[in-house]
Structure 1
Amino acid sequence: MSTSLLLVDGSSYLYRAYHALPDLRGPGGLPTGAVHGMVAMLKRLREQFPAAHAACVFDASGPTFRDALYPAYKAQRSAMPEDLRRQIEPIHEVVRLLGWPVIVQPGIEADDVIGTLARAAAARGETVVISTGDKDLAQLVDVHVSLINTMSGERLDPDGVQAKFGVPPERIVDYLTLMGDAVDNVPGVEKVGPKTAAKWIAEHGSLDGVIAAAPSIKGVAGEKLREALDWLPTARSLVTVKCDCDLAPSLPGWPAWDGLVWQDAPAEALLDFYARHGFRTWGKELAGALGVELPAVAPASPAATPAEGEAAPATPPAADAADAAPLIPPIGTPVHECITSWEAFERWFARLQAAELVALDTETDSLDSLRARIVGLSFSVQPGEACYIPLAHDYPGAPEQLPLQAVLDRLRPWLEDPARAKLGQHIKYDQHVFANHGLTVAGYAHDTLLQSYVLEAHKAHSLESLASRHLNRTGLSYEQVAGKGAQQIPFAQVDLDTATRYSGEDSDMTLHVHQVLWPQLQQAPRLREVYERIEMPASRVLQRIERHGVLIDSALLGQQSRELAERMLALEAKAYELAGQPFNLGSPKQIGEILFSQQKLPVLKKTASGAPSTDEEVLEKLAADHPLPATILAHRSLAKLKGTYTDKLPGMVNPATGRVHTHYAQAVAVTGRLASSDPNLQNIPIRTAEGRRIREAFIAPPGHVLVSCDYSQIELRIMAHLSGDPALVRAFEQGLDVHRATASEVFGVPVDQVSPEQRRYAKTINFGLIYGMGAFGLASALGIEQKAAKDYIERYFDRFAGVKRYMDTIREQAREQGYVETFFGRRVHLPEIRGGNGPRRTAAERQAINAPMQGTAADLIKLAMVAVQDQLDAEGRASRMVMQVHDELVLEVPEAELDWVKAEVPARMAGVAQLAVPLLAEPGVGRNWDEAH
């Protein structure tokens, strides 16, 4: 069916383009990522949906009728990021130059303009396509109107709306009213999400039907519905798209359609725009079509010269990073071949051997990387083409497949050849899977997960997200292939046609994503170094650490569990006595009733629903003066230790190895720190005796010891380097106790006369300030008046003026460029520092101070892992790294190698970088982790 009217929700797409693309810059240094994304999307849309009439609609600044109806409407939204705000005018300019009619009408939201146009066109029997990512516009869908999401490729007609939301288009308003709209700050019915909203509408026919049935709807959700009845009419008005707007102010001739025809903008003006903004590929194409030369580009504004000894700021990628290629390498219709014969296998194997780079992916029977077995393999040598080799599919009528072991044996020389370059998405998982079959894959040159993480750590890194964000491609989801919940089938039961498409897309899109991300890394040398020198080598070492695992004393943990249970029973009895009655110590509601209604303790904070809070912060404050909150806290602490560690760890032991094998996630924390899970080794408490006892259960096997090598005061040393503060640098150079040295400066006493209390204060100040702590936070941490804390901070900054200068400078740099950098060039993006509200912006400023230190520490420990592993391998040592926790490496060491490890490992850790102050790593030795730490 041909399209009569093509409408673009410009306000939806400019935000999505801004967040989807990297920090592109034009020749003058102005941001151009959102502009580039909008141009690419609009050009593609016009080709896909040729229409007689069109419009690109943007929100105007200023209030609308919804703000008058509900003053808190959109109140929680952050201010528009400054880099995006600077792109609004050029976006409007280029949209017009591309021939699109542009509509911006004050007092009316873009959704209402689109709704008015769509309804008017539908009433004339015309076909309307709305390009948007906004679910609210699903209420406009009917037999004449459909939605297209260019980011995901999804198209919604009435059946599509029903399938996606569980309600038909004419009930989307009812659905949104019940759910609320968090994006626009429109409350709905508390505790009601998409499933409940759709269920109620299906049962009662409409919102009015739900309201009529409210007295009989049971459960907490029913209670919340009855509480919200007075609000629902207002919510319905807020989420309803207005479809009868007067568009005459912004659309000449309205209600006629004269203003919605394609415009003939001069091509020379568009060519000039491309040149000014650095869009060289599009500029060359257009110049060639016109038979003219691409206009000269004005030189970029000169950058400030860095001071002596400072690193020059990293340059964002140019707006058109690939000079002779589009942002997204083109592909034709994807072709994914299922390989079930040796003839087809050998044909593809020859392609693998001839290719410069091959993307590969495993399909398995488990998400547990150390237990997963291969069900099939896919390979791609160019985007749009892939093969899938099914090896263990087992369902009624499944075709005959090549034998698993024979295929692996045939692939082994290629898989284990380091000269054969390979690519994957999250290669650490696939390395484990191959190792489960006795294969040590070599030659992994790239990992798209880590490429994305280095380029834009603050965004999602799943292949689905990367393909959508960078390729505008979408593929089958695992749930579409195998189902979900109790109905989900193993991958081995997925039919071969579906499995071929799914797995083929994985390897094909991985290669395609690589072709977009790798050029960006190549043009940003410092980020490329983080990727090649830190993240890729660290991935290989982490895979070995995970695979070796650490030995656990399950019997000792069982004994600790029993002891914790006895202590919990005693605390429970004490709490009952203090309360004067039994109650559930795990129930916030019952705790609140006893503390605040019966014992009349002061209410310090309330929950979102208005009930008195009983969270840990509240109980800690109350515990200072009241025994019952202190008893509840102690019980909670023991319950957490028992449930999370002493009960759970023995069940996590791999029966094949007798060890626990944690998973280290690289692409999680924006600062570069690793995240440990299953089990989480980073959250084992060390400030309590009970927490430290859990570390006793991490043991060395007979004839071995555990050695813990820990960086000493690493973040303070990094602060000394980054700030260059003479007093701080001098303290580390002279090997002084830095907290005692700080106390000496702040309190004006000789170092040898610093009291323990003064040292404790100085330690809190040292660590507090590098986390951006202010006077209020310091006062709370030290239990002193805020004025006294303010005086301490002023005295500190007076003595350590270099630290103050650094903090002021880094905050300003973060505001200017939207990110900060570690010593090695890793970028930590801070989206809220320019566009957030007050509290969010303040938090981003604190993060701007700390992130370079925390990020540099993360980089250092990864480099240390790599250096230590390289040395172990070079000397053929039997010692093995078994854990990495915060700034600490833990090794399992044969007693015969103990002296070597105690001398060499700290030296390797201290030598991975040259800072203005020496790095220091200190070893500890023991039969268990607690003794060694």
Structure 2
Amino acid sequence: MDTSFLSNDEISRLSFLPENRVLPKQSASDWSGYLNSMGMGQALEVQLRASSLIRALTSKTIHLDFDGWSRDGVRPWISARQQALTELQEYLGIGIYSVESNAQIRNYAKLKNINISSLSVGWLVEHRHDDPVIGLLLKKRNQDNLLKRYRDELAGLQNHNGIVKLSGTWNPYSSYSGRFTAHEMAMTALPKAMKNYFVAPFRRSSPNVYVSLDANQIELRLLAGASNCKLLIEQFEDGVDLHRYFASKLFETNQSNVSPAMRKLAKTLIYAMLYGAGANRLDKITVKSGLQIRANPISVLQSLYPEVTALLQRFRQGKVLYYGLKPTKFQPRIGVSWLSSATKQNLPVQSATALLMKQILVELVNKVNVVNVIHDEFICLCNERLIDETQQCVLKAFGVAANKLDLALPLANILSTQQLGGNYYDNY
């Protein structure tokens, strides 16, 4: 198996070697034999097939109606920024020109015995509860950064139609979990509201559209299949809103009484537990929400889905590293650094998701035009008349990919499909 086109970073992460380490000089067959012997043969095979496809996403673009986005899309950020400025003026008794300057805000705050040691976002986040002025300055800085990144820096990229072509440089193995991401224009971190202003090219009287095909609760589905958790599998088949259901247990109320805020907290707690959060972290999340739960989240998860919690415990206590939900022969460490219990628990799930998404990309070659991948969401460009066909093709790819990777994946109600933005005439 030829590994010559895999980067050193890819091979290092597949081998759980430290980053930036000079690799031993070995042939492609030696690396292949080593990784196969350590239980990473499947991951290597998938990476070999998917790596070039992921890199090819660098040449794909999503067209953004910048006129509409910069006029209407960023309006909530502008409003939030203005509100922060107004409140800062009232607290500090300063004018509009002074409040535009972060340094001036710090100077006036000092006169009121409010110490702002640093203007960095990190410091402001850490101290945001010390004084309302610090919290408001953080809010202003956050809005400033959003407007700079997603409005001001894009403004110069418009073409004569007012279109900005969004693209990124893709890394096919950006973390030890195997996740692939884009950097520069971070396609995996585009604001959700921006999707409303995507405009697919409309060519030769044949309207195209951008379509989002989002896998619902992929990590929970993979855990349900791997642990054979009967209740969870049944809930997926019945289309149960798992987060609303979990919230009803946390708050000891009927599902009809669960508010959006209660559901959001339940969702946050579920994924925090899946990724290894302990009781203290869960308490902090709950306190921050401002809500009062009546049941212990860990106890609720254990009582509802004991098969899942038992599997997570196996990962957490394992003497070997699990990858793609399966044991390898690696000790749970990167180089000489041992992994935390939380990382030992969440790496198997995250790596299984990454493997699955890569294999799906392989299955979709020459069938669907994938222009972006955001964790467990595919954004595709297709003809307006072929949305249903595209959905079915992607759904089939999920099943085929899971089968090839020997992952038990409940497929019922897995895809949410949504057309993004509109389209326009491409006259050139």
The TM-score with structure 2 as length reference comes to 0.79
Aligned residue in 2 for 1:520: 34
Aligned residue in 1 for 2:370: 881
CA change 1:678–1:759 in 2 (3 A) is: closer
2:325 counterpart SS class: coil
Aligned-pair CA distance for 1:539: 1.8
Paired letter, 1:806? L
Mapped pair 1:615 → 2:124: yes
Q: Give 1:572's match in structure 2, choosing from 85, 104, 108.
A: 85
Aligned residue in 1 for 2:402: 913
1:536 counterpart SS class: helix
Aligned residue in 2 for 1:718: 222
CA change 1:560–1:734 in 2 (3 A) is: closer
Aligned-pair CA distance for 1:629: 3.9
Query: 1:719 touches 1:770 (CA, 8 Å); kept in 2?
Result: no
Aligned-pair CA distance for 1:639: 1.1
CA change 1:868–1:661 in 2 (3 A) is: same
CA change 1:652–1:831 in 2 (3 A) is: farther
Q: Distance in 2 between matches of 1:832 and 1:904?
A: 38
CA change 1:796–1:706 in 2 (3 A) is: same
Aligned-pair CA distance for 1:756: 5.4
Query: 1:820 touches 1:852 (CA, 8 Å); kept in 2?
Result: yes
Q: Distance in 1 between matches of 2:216 and 2:384?
A: 25
CA change 1:642–1:868 in 2 (3 A) is: same
Aligned residue in 2 for 1:538: 50
Aligned-pair CA distance for 1:456: 2.5
Aligned-pair CA distance for 1:913: 0.9
Aligned residue in 1 for 2:418: 924
Q: Distance in 2 between matches of 1:833 and 1:455?
A: 9
Q: Distance in 1 between matches of 2:256 and 2:141?
A: 41
Q: Give 1:890's match in structure 2, choosing from 371, 379, 392.
A: 379
Note the alpha carbon deviations across 1:317-346, whole angstroms, 9 max, x for none.
xxxxxxxxxxxxxxxxxxxxxxxxxxxxxx
Mapped pair 1:852 → 2:406: no
2:410 counterpart SS class: coil
CA change 1:907–1:597 in 2 (3 A) is: farther
Q: Distance in 2 between matches of 1:883 and 1:668?
A: 16
Q: Note the aligned Cα RMSD (angstroms).
A: 4.0
The TM-score with structure 1 as length reference comes to 0.39
Aligned residue in 1 for 2:24: 470
Aligned residue in 1 for 2:426: none
Q: Distance in 1 between matches of 2:15 and 2:4?
A: 17
1:423 counterpart SS class: coil
Q: Distance in 2 between matches of 1:740 and 1:884?
A: 27
Paired letter, 1:856? A
Query: 1:828 touches 1:851 (CA, 8 Å); kept in 2?
Result: no
1:539 counterpart SS class: helix
Aligned-pair CA distance for 1:805: 2.2
Aligned-pair CA distance for 1:901: 1.1
Q: Map of 1:229-248 to 2, 5 A cutoff?
A: none
Q: Distance in 2 between matches of 1:450 and 1:856?
A: 16
Paired letter, 1:918? P
Paired letter, 1:469? L
Q: Distance in 1 between matches of 2:49 and 2:121?
A: 50
Aligned residue in 2 for 1:699: 199
Paired letter, 1:576? Q
CA change 1:571–1:729 in 2 (3 A) is: same
1:700 counterpart SS class: strand
Query: 1:720 touches 1:728 (CA, 8 Å); kept in 2?
Result: yes
Query: 1:710 touches 1:921 (CA, 8 Å); kept in 2?
Result: yes
CA change 1:519–1:797 in 2 (3 A) is: closer
Q: Distance in 2 between matches of 1:787 and 1:753?
A: 14
CA change 1:515–1:683 in 2 (3 A) is: same
Aligned residues: 406
Structure 2: state its 5+ residue gaps: 424-428
Query: 1:707 touches 1:924 (CA, 8 Å); kept in 2?
Result: yes
Aligned-pair CA distance for 1:912: 2.0
Note the alpha carbon deviations across 1:279-334, whole angstroms, 9 max, x for none.
xxxxxxxxxxxxxxxxxxxxxxxxxxxxxxxxxxxxxxxxxxxxxxxxxxxxxxxx
Structure 1: state its 5+ residue gaps: 1-356, 358-420, 427-447, 472-511, 687-691, 873-878
Note the alpha carbon deviations across 1:560-594, whole angstroms, 9 max, x for none.
6995668746643542332223356545xx65665
Aligned-pair CA distance for 1:891: 0.7
Q: Distance in 2 between matches of 1:706 and 1:457?
A: 39
Mapped pair 1:821 → 2:375: no
Note the alpha carbon deviations across 1:813-840, whole angstroms, 9 max, x for none.
0xx23x332236689975389966xxxx
Paired letter, 2:125? E
Q: Give 2:170's match in structure 1, choosing from 647, 664, 673.
A: 664
Q: Map of 1:525-674 to 2, 5 A cutoff?
A: 526-532=39-45, 534-559=46-71, 568=81, 571-581=84-94, 582=98, 585-587=101-103, 598=112, 600=114, 614-619=123-128, 621=129, 626=132, 628-651=133-156, 659-674=165-180
CA change 1:649–1:789 in 2 (3 A) is: farther
Aligned-pair CA distance for 1:795: 3.7
Paired letter, 1:900? E
Paired letter, 1:519? G
Paired letter, 2:333? P
Q: Distance in 2 between matches of 1:916 and 1:422?
A: 29
Aligned-pair CA distance for 1:778: 1.9
Aligned residue in 2 for 1:681: 187
2:4 counterpart SS class: strand
Larger RCO, structures 1/2 (Cα 8 Å, 6+ apart):
2
Paired letter, 1:696? N
Greater C-alpha Rg = 1
Aligned-pair CA distance for 1:453: 3.3
Aligned-pair CA distance for 1:917: 4.8
Aligned residue in 2 for 1:440: none
Aligned-pair CA distance for 1:670: 0.9
Aligned-pair CA distance for 1:695: 2.8
Query: 1:778 touches 1:789 (CA, 8 Å); kept in 2?
Result: no
2:358 counterpart SS class: helix
2:182 counterpart SS class: strand
Note the alpha carbon deviations across 1:677-699, whole angstroms, 9 max, x for none.
1210122243xxxxx1x333432
Note the alpha carbon deviations across 1:687-730, whole angstroms, 9 max, x for none.
xxxxx1x3334321121111100110111222323444443333
Mapped pair 1:777 → 2:281: yes
Query: 2:168 touches 2:185 (CA, 8 Å); kept in 1?
Result: yes
